[in-house]
Amino acid sequence: MAETTEDTVVETPLQGLLKRRKELHESVVPLIEARRQVRTAFDARKADEDESKRPTAEERASYISEEETFNEQVAEKLSEIKDLDVRIEQEQAAERSLEIAQNASRTESITITHQPLTYREDNQRVHSYFLDLAAKDVPEVRSRASGRIDGFQERLDAHAKEMAEEMPRRFAEAERRAQTETDRAEIEFRKRINHRGSFEESPFSRNAQLESRAPTRIVGQGGYAIPPLWLIDDYIGYLRPGRVAAGLARNLPLPPGTDSINVPRLSTPTLTAVQTADAAPVASRDIQDTFQQANVKTVAGQEDVPIQLVEQSPGQILDRVIMTDLIADYNQKVDLQVILGNGTGAPLSGGQVVGLYPSTNWGANVVTWTNGTPYPVEFFQVLGAMASKTAYSRFNLQDFNFLMHPRRWFWGATGVDSSTAGSGRFVANATDFPAFNVAALENNPAPYEGLAGRTPFGPSVYIDANIPITDNGSGSLTGSNDVVIAAIWDDIWLFEGDLRTRVLSEVLSGTLELRFQVWGYLALLARYGVSTTIAQGSAFAQPYTQTGSSTGVAY
């Protein structure tokens, strides 16, 4: 009798990833449900009419600690799910490619192998992208015999080939996402003004002359100039210092090859009126439309690094230090463009985007504060006036929040109503809010940038040291005042492309240094100018202690 054996089912990498993702998702749902029940019970206790049943200070502190732990746990699982989604997409693409190749060759056997990328997070201790890049361009690095740079040219060649295959796919996906995200943003916008539909045609413009004579504007051409994908995905996706305003705006991908973005809007709306009598003429007015345009500009940053650091430091330190520092600088420049971009330069000749300040850039609302000895309580009334102006000019306050310099927030957060001893209105912490005579709720703990607190009437306050402190009180950078920017941030669209890198040696050869540069393209568009309100005036001079005297402590 023939012996039979039962086939062993081998799990494919894709099946394993899908299984792991399902397990993670199923583990998150019970956590969220359990926490929802705890929150409901706690909120009910806070609202209990019997004061003795309300949470104690210790219980409130414990609840906040549990919330932070829960948020960390869920964020960790969601981050792992996101990473799995990327790997699943890659495996699915690999399987599709294999299937296409097999179908295309019915007569001959094809063996397909999938090699890992040359520069990866798991081999960063062995191979440094920036060290290899320096070895290619800098004779001093190349001349030093070292096992760490042996084979650098082969690695860079392999990396260039990998990017030639990978980046077109990523660019196509970026273009698809850009169109999808802008379409979704337009649909959400039209819902607020009770209109349906999305873009009738793509808002992204390409100049044929641009593509033919300036191919370097298209990210990815040049092979070596593309950083390793793990650095792009890890740092560019998550490292966000110094870009509070840029983070508040609606972030959208910028398709490669784009030189301007044009979003249509109505300049003259339709008209209705009460009919004065039967058979009387009906009110009518032809609509007129225009468009908001955002030209694509370049933002760059650079870091000068001693050649000793390049030659002596472990690879992971070199790559992480350079990328971290450069992207931090790049992010600050992007943030400054969102706030202060002056729009100089023709569409294809560099220059700046059109930022939110001054108010004339996009036709923003203006609130002027001119009190000679201002008190914080008056400042919070200014914030109320800003919300009011936006509400009756934009007819919406969804995602409306304030952005100000840290000196203005901490002056308001530590100030009092008047100089009368014993009186005062202070910002409360999260445990005690809501409370009597409170101007705002401070985020706990107070950050050096980002979300600082929220006002009792709803909007949150964000602090950003890139807010100008040289305003002259009327929208010009010739003075010493700060300003406050408030906006419906969903109406502020920030488009960004991928980053590129290069290394230069000649400019710093006399000091044994190398210059690493990163650059990328961005565009900024305010969907409606009245979505933004700027507060300015003489009362925004550098604040002092409660008396307002210049002899007091300066903020």
Question: Is the per-residue pLDDT at 2 higher than 70?
Answer: no
Instruction: Give the type of residue at 361.
Output: N
The pLDDT score that the predictor gives to residue 145 is 47
Model confidence, pTM: 0.65
Could you give the percent of the chain with pLDDT greater than 70? Answer: 69
Average pLDDT over residues 530-534: 94
d(CA 472, CA 133): 46
Cβ–Cβ < 8 Å for 390, 364: no
Residue 238 neighbours by CB under 8 Å, 6+ apart: none
Place 24 in a pLDDT band, splitting at 50, 70 and 90.
confident
Burial class (CB in 10 A: 0-12, 13-18, 19+), 331: buried
Q: Which of 299, 302, 317 is nearest to 508 (CA)?
A: 302
The pLDDT score that the predictor gives to residue 431 is 57
- What 3-state DSSP class applies to 531? helix
Residue 526 neighbours by CB under 8 Å, 6+ apart: 292, 354, 356, 361, 362, 364, 491, 492, 493, 532
Instruction: Give the type of residue at 393.
Output: S
d(CA 137, CA 16): 42
Angle of CA points 73, 76, 81, to nearest 5°: 125
Average pLDDT over residues 378-407: 92
Residue 450, both tokens: 């980002």
Mean pLDDT (the chain, rounded): 76
Structural domain boundaries in the chain: 13-42+66-104, 126-269+288-555
- What 3-state DSSP class applies to 369? coil
What is the 8-class DSSP label of residue 11?
Answer: P
Q: Which of 520, 521, 516 is nearest to 500 (CA)?
A: 520
Place 429 in a pLDDT band, splitting at 50, 70 and 90.
low
Residue range 257-282, pLDDT digits in tens = 788 887 766 566 666 778 788 878 88
d(CA 355, CA 370): 25
Question: Is the per-residue pLDDT at 479 higher than 90?
Answer: yes
The pLDDT score that the predictor gives to residue 157 is 85
- The more confident residue out of 243 and 552 is 243
- The more confident residue out of 402 and 454 is 402
